[in-house]
Amino acid sequence: MSSLKVMLGVLAAGLMLSGCMQATRYEATDTKAFKPKDKELLAKVRYENTAVAEPFRRAIVDYHRKESPGSIVVDSDNHYLYYVLDGGKAIRYGITVGEEAMAWSGIAKVGSKTEWPAWHPTPGEISRLGVPTYVAPGPDNPMGSRAMYLYSGGKDTLFRIHGTNQPEYIGASISSGCIRLTNEDAIDLYDRVKVGTLVVVLEPKHGDSPYNSRLALGNNGTGQAGSF
């Protein structure tokens, strides 16, 4: 029943957003860019590869915020992740985010990256979800095809941007706090992102980013990542 409520909520949000969206250019997945291992494992998935609702499909959109090109901005309220481009544009990805009590906001950086990661659930997840302490990499692993690990103050926040084996929940708030993309979108974003990339996760009900990433980096816009 709860899954049905989530799905109805995603559909309703998609319909509302589609009524007021700016013109967008949707980006088809370029499977030619996938590695042989990606093609092999994605062909073996056992989950239903549900199509993402149109408002949450990857698209190039106009972008009015002040973050520097190459930055990531996460708008949890609207279930979007933006990868900032030059020229007032961004690549917008639909995402699954954490339930309100488990959400995180702030400034971090990508501290490390992994292809087809293993899953090491936190003690809280093990207790709450009844999952094992370790899940090996693979097509049905909840971490999906890629993981980007968020660090702040030089420490692992335990929050990640990663793929998913539940694409039907893109546009919903059900995760344990991590930011999920479809496996195909996770590969696309991973290939663009470098270790040290700035990540701004907006506060709930915060319409605009309170940060300019050049200032947040503390380097007068030199593009070198500081310590977070």
pLDDT in tens, 152-197: 999 999 899 999 999 999 999 987 778 999 999 999 999 999 999 9
Model pLDDT for residues 195-223, shown as the tens digit of each residue: 999 999 998 876 554 444 444 444 333 33
Pick the catalytic residue: 64, 79, 120, 162?
162
Q: Which domain holds residue 38?
A: 2-216
Model pLDDT for residues 129-152, shown as the tens digit of each residue: 888 888 899 988 999 999 999 999
Q: What is the CATH number of the domain that holds 9?
A: 2.40.440.10
**Any catalytic annotation for residue 178?**
yes
Instruction: Measure Cα distances from 218 to 48, 64, 90, 157, 198 in Å.
Output: 44, 22, 23, 20, 12
**Any catalytic annotation for residue 162?**
yes
Pick the catalytic residue: 64, 79, 120, 178?
178
Domain count, the chain: 1
Model pLDDT for residues 98-128, shown as the tens digit of each residue: 876 467 789 999 999 999 999 888 888 888 8
- Which residue in 133, 118, 59 sits closest to 94, CA to CA? 59
Model pLDDT for residues 54-72, shown as the tens digit of each residue: 999 999 999 988 899 999 9
**Distance spanning both ends of the chain, measured CA to CA:** 41
Model pLDDT for residues 33-44, shown as the tens digit of each residue: 899 999 999 999
User: What is the distance between the alpha carbons of residues 224 and 67, in angstroms, rounded to a whole number?
Assistant: 14
227 is a domain residue: no
7 is a domain residue: yes
159 is a domain residue: yes
224 is a domain residue: no
221 is a domain residue: no
* Residue keyed to tokens 């488990």: 102
64 is a domain residue: yes
223 is a domain residue: no
Global pTM reads: 0.80
225 is a domain residue: no
